[in-house]
Amino acid sequence: MSSKKQFIDEVFTTFEINSLIERRKCRATGKVRFNSKGEAGFFIQWLKWRYKKWLRGKNRRKHRYGSGEGKPKQRYTYGCIHCGGYHITKEHPHDYRRKKEKYEQKYAE
């Protein structure tokens, strides 16, 4: 195992994710609210790390998860205008902007 992977494993295993990151729900969207963009980014990396560790485990069903099924899709963070916190999403910001503009043009007053 390379020293970088070993360091990452040590970092993620030493921290208890629930005590490190305070997660609450946003009342407007119902999504998990993070206090900072860094916390949301760290949580995304933790999800990816946990999935990779799970893939190497012996107790998983190999025939069901060979095609990447169950892999976390969240890759982006954004600031919420309702709660002032940050959320994670799988949708690229450019695609979101394009869909929002199309919606506003269609339903303009």
Residue ranges covered by each domain of the chain: 3-106
pTM over 0.75: no
State yes or no: pLDDT of 5 exceeds 60.
Answer: yes
pLDDT in tens, 44-70: 888 888 887 777 776 666 655 556 666
Amino acid at 90: K
What tokens were used for 30? 């119902």
Nearest to 52 by CA among 67, 72, 38: 72
